[in-house]
Amino acid sequence: MKVISKIADIKREIKELKRAGKTVGLVPTMGYLHEGHVSLVDKSVSENDITVVSIFVNPTQFGPTEDLAAYPRDFDRDKEMVEAAGADVIFFPTPEEMYPEGACTKVSLSGITEVLCGITRPVHFAGVATVVTKLFNIVSPDRAYFGEKDYQQLQVIKRMVKDLNMDVDVIGMPIIRETDGLAKSSRNIYLKGEERTSALALSKSFNIISDMVKAGEKDVKKIKQAVTDFIHSYPHTKVDYVELVDPSDLRYLTQIEGDFVTALAVYVGKARLIDNKYFSGVIK
């Protein structure tokens, strides 16, 4: 496995591989990998000749008050995990390599980025869209793999690829959870003491929704209130949002009419955790 940090070097490498007819899969990450990331690498290895994992804590997707400096990093551990999973290349650029002085171009989306996490993180998705566009242009992947935990991010990237006519197949992979239900996340490392138990409030709240919907409840306001109250019954929690949305355009629902996604963002201590669940076929 190669570790490449320069854009020109990986472009040259990829060009040779493409000329030899190889297919390329890309797994973009911010490092500090967990089993969720590994499931993406596994899938890419199974579907492509070459798998590139990018590890880059992208500064432009963090707001000024967010956890950029504190974001956990452990390159040596990441490298071992990626190599064990069978990836071929790690792309590991510096911020200066990705954003040299004078860089001023941004890719942004309206609508879909102005709901859910876009409300408290107004610069986040433009940062994501821009860095993913750059990574796609640098690595020229046939397929790119993203976790469904970041459900809004996945929809944003799918929309961007469609809108800008990019030639890459965007593949979403299921959330990987701890045995007790907590969605795996690099930010779980922030959870201290009883916060770890409180973090279960997110995944457990989906049961409440299932039960209410099965009982015939269609009023989203009532469901949101019940979920919020449930989460706040755990110590150290503060709901950022609880929303039931249209699965593709993330439009907020007020009434349940068919399939929907429940998306949550909750502060547990200092950690801002997200989770989501697709509800299908629960409505008669």
Separation between Cα atoms, residue 155 and residue 141, nearest integer Å: 18
Whether 232 is catalytic: no
Told to check if 102 binds a second copy by CB under 8 A, we report: yes
**Site map (CB under 8 A) of a second copy, residues 68-97, x = contact:** ------------------------------
Quote the least distance from Cβ 261 to a second copy, whole Å.
17
Question: Quick one: which segment of 36-44, 65-73, 132-140, 219-227 binds a second copy (CB under 8 A)?
Answer: 132-140
What gap in Å lies between CA 59 and CA 72, rounded to an integer?
13
Among 1, 11, 196, 217, binds a second copy (CB under 8 A): 11
Secondary structure element (H or E) that encloses residue 31, with its range? none
With H, G, I as helix, E, B as strand and everything else as coil, classify residue 212.
helix
Interface residue with a second copy among 9, 35, 80, 163 (CB under 8 A) is: 163
The Cα 143–Cα 171 span in angstroms is: 7
CB of residue 284 to a second copy, shortest distance in Å: 29
Please tell me whether residue 164 binds a second copy under the rule CB under 8 A. yes
Do the Cβ atoms of 72 and 191 come closer than 8 Å? no
Paired sense of beta strands 260-268 and 271-279, if any: antiparallel
Tell me the residue type at 119: I
Least Cα distance to 196 among 205, 185, 206 occurs for: 185
Minimal distance, residue 107 CB to a second copy, in Å: 5
Distance of CA 201 to CAs 61, 126, 231, 234, 252, Å? 26, 30, 5, 7, 22
Closer residue to a second copy (CB): 62 or 136: 136
Cβ proximity to a second copy, 16 vs 35, nearer residue? 16
If the CB atoms of residues 86 and 111 are measured against a second copy, the closer one turns out to be: 111
* Residue 4 contacts a second copy per CB under 8 A: no
Which position among 16, 169, 229, 249 is part of the footprint of a second copy (CB under 8 A)?
Answer: 249
Burial 111-131 (b: 16+ CB within 10 A, else e): ebbebbbbeebebbbbbbbbb
Q: Does 133 bind a second copy (CB under 8 A)?
A: yes
Identify the CA nearest to 88 among candidates 137, 146, 41, 33. 41
Does residue 138 bind a second copy (CB under 8 A)? yes
- Candidate residues 79, 159, 184, 224; the one interacting with a second copy per rule CB under 8 A: 159
Which entry of 34, 37, 124, 236 is annotated as an active-site residue? 37
Residues that bind a second copy (CB under 8 A): 7, 11, 102-112, 129-130, 133-134, 137-138, 140, 159-160, 162-167, 249
Which residues carry out catalysis? 37
